[in-house]
Amino acid sequence: MLLVIPVIDIMDGKCLRIFSGLDDKTEFYTDNPVKVAKLLRRENFKALHITDLDGALYGEMKNYGIIKEIAHSVDMPIQLGGGIRNIKVAEKMIKELGVYRLVIGTAAITVPGFINKLVDKFSPVKIVVGIDEKLNNVVTNGWINYANITPLEFAKKVEKCGATRIIYQDVTRVGNYSGPFLERIVELAQNTSLKITVAGGIGSYMHLKSIMDLNIPRVDSVMISRAIYENRFPCQNLWRAMEKKDTSFDLPPAKI
């Protein structure tokens, strides 16, 4: 079974609806991320991923206050990414917010030795490296800049630094329900010993099944954003019917 981790992407203090580009397609689901986090907890999800998109774009966490409120409002492990580019910020997120796991993206490439230092200080369990791909090239700074390294090359590099888990996504699939990049997932799994969380393009139960059908135990979890907000999984009908009066966005019928 895959662990399904819902995603809250925050920009300007609001829940952002992400498509394959951040520049000209900005839409917000709701201006209350805390309310969304509480709803997801009531829907019995076992963990939560939060991305500070302002941090991912500009290198400095801008939504700390809201993230702190979420962390203190829900009793579930929180995985946090976006703008974590030095040890001081990483330590603050773990000690002050009680964040279970940190996701490092841009800094894993731009700050030499950063992953080694994080793993040594907090243990591999606390650190995940995000690998965002576009056309077989890793992209950074909110998918803006090309890092001139392939996903597989990068995965091997972070594994040598002591990381044991990555989050992989093809950013061209984000928000469009086109399905995960299965071939790349297999390539990463077959050529490293890393545990893999899959993100990007997942919009239906069949997409989840396609990942499970790979039968790779180390591919053990998925992160989903838009499809959960838009109620595309049949099991959500019951949950959302009970919560309908307590949400601030429309709830379309579930799709298989």
Catalytic residues: 9, 132
Instruction: Please give the Cα distance from 178 to 180 (Å, whole number).
Output: 7
Q: How far is CA 1 from the centre of its chain?
A: 19
Q: Label residue 217 exposed, middle or buried (CB < 10 Å: 0-12, 13-18, 19+).
A: exposed
Please state, in angstroms and as integers, the Cα–Cα distance from residue 140 to each residue in 104, 106, 111, 186, 255, following that order: 11, 5, 12, 22, 33
How many C-alpha atoms does 207 have within 13 Å on its Cβ side?
A: 24
